[in-house]
Amino acid sequence: MKIIGTQYRELLADSGYRLFTRKSDTECILVSEDRPIYELWVLNDSHSGYTIEIDGQGYEFVETLHVGAAGK
């Protein structure tokens, strides 16, 4: 993890997440490698706080996505 000012920046490969899908050029959904938790992250290279680096750019957490059970 790198600390840049007030930013704690971690590479995706070291974060415990993997890329599930990209919603757009600026939004992606990450999934935890050890549990079925999906999260929306958005491009914000100058974000202050925990940032995950994907393809050389910083992404910040927006929200946990709640996936309902099939058939409900």
Residue 66 has pLDDT above 90, yes or no: no
Q: 43, exposed or middle or buried, with CB in 10 Å at 0-12, 13-18, 19+?
A: middle
Closest CA to 41 of 10, 68, 6, 3: 10
pTM for the model stands at 0.86
Phi/psi of residue 12, nearest 5 degrees: -55, -45
4-29 pLDDT, tens digit per residue, is 889 999 999 999 999 999 999 999 99
pLDDT band at 50 (very low <50, low <70, confident <90, very high): very high
